[in-house]
């Protein structure tokens, strides 16, 4: 295990603890600010995510956005591969996907221009610490090579951290939305 791997593991452990504490004390309406931001992009193809464990829940904002344009969720294809995004609707049938996240029962893939991204921690400069698989980094790199792609981290305020152990392959976020604020980078 390299020093950077150890540092990232320690940062993730601390961030997971902060996220769990925030999740345990969350108030209703956490997706309100996310809905406000997405309202300014109505009709633009976007992707959210199906929350797992203690992730902040974007589903109310995704449901609202789906009334105006395509909304998808990530579908893992294989380790080391970018994500694909399958069309999601609030009432659509789902099946179990990798890592406990639900995915649409029938694949209907498209490329989003806005990605609402889950995370373990974020920093005040748009840095993101994820789960360690590199799925979003590979995906954002590929999408951004084709067209402007907006990456919005969605998190609890408590997930903010200083000096995240980032690597050159880590894709920056354009914005972070929490239950109380919007940060643009």
DSSP 11: H
Residue 175 lies in a domain: no
Residue 157 lies in a domain: yes
pLDDT band at 1 (very low <50, low <70, confident <90, very high): low
Across 144-161, average pLDDT: 97
Q: In angstroms, rounded to a whole number, what is the distance separating the alpha carbons of residues 185 and 73?
A: 24
| Structural domain for 41, as ranges | 3-167
Residue 102 lies in a domain: yes
**pLDDT at residue number 2:** 78
pTM value > 0.85: yes
Token pair for residue 119? 């995370």
Across 129-133, average pLDDT: 92
Looking at the structure of the chain, the number of domains it has is 1
Greater confidence (120 vs 4) lies with: 120
Residues 174 and 152 sit within 8 Å (Cβ to Cβ): yes
Residue 173 lies in a domain: no
Each residue of 47-96: pLDDT tens digit?
Answer: 999 999 999 999 999 999 999 999 999 999 999 999 999 999 999 999 99
Mean pLDDT of the chain: 95
Residue 179 lies in a domain: no
Residue 176 lies in a domain: no
Q: Tokens 């969350």 label which residue? A: 26
Across 157-184, average pLDDT: 95
Kindly compute the dihedral angle of the four CA atoms of residues 88, 149, 18, 135, in this order, to the nearest 10 degrees. Answer: 70
**CATH number, position 94:** 3.40.50.10420
Token pair for residue 185? 């980078």
Q: In angstroms, rounded to a whole number, what is the distance separating the alpha carbons of residues 117 and 72?
A: 12
**pLDDT at residue number 5:** 87
Identify each DSSP E strand in 71-173 by its residue range: 71-75, 84-87, 94-96, 102-104, 109-110, 114-117, 121-122, 128-129, 150-154
Greater confidence (27 vs 113) lies with: 113
Residue 152 lies in a domain: yes
Q: In angstroms, rounded to a whole number, what is the distance separating the alpha carbons of residues 98 and 44?
A: 27
Greater confidence (29 vs 99) lies with: 29
**pLDDT at residue number 99:** 80
Residues 97 and 85 sit within 8 Å (Cβ to Cβ): no
Each residue of 171-181: pLDDT tens digit?
Answer: 999 999 999 99
């Amino acid at each position: 295990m390299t020093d950077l791997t150890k540092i990232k593991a320690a940062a993730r452990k601390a961030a997971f603890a902060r996220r769990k504490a925030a999740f345990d004390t969350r108030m209703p309406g956490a997706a309100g600010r996310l809905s406000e931001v997405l309202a300014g992009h109505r009709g633009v193809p976007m992707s959210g995510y199906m929350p797992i464990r203690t992730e902040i829940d974007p589903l109310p904002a995704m449901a609202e956005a789906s009334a105006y344009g395509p909304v998808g969720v990530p579908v893992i294809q294989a380790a080391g591969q970018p994500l694909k995004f399958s069309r999601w609707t609030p009432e659509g049938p789902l099946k179990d996907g990798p890592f406990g996240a639900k995915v649409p029962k029938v694949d209907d893939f498209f490329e989003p221009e806005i990605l609402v991204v889950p995370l373990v921690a974020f920093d005040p400069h748009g840095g993101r610490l994820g789960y360690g698989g590199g799925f979003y980094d590979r995906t954002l790199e590929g999408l951004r090579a084709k067209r402007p792609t907006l990456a919005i981290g969605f998190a609890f305020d408590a997930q903010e951290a200083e000096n995240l152990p980032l690597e050159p392959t880590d894709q920056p976020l354009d914005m972070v939305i929490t239950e109380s604020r919007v940060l643009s980078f």
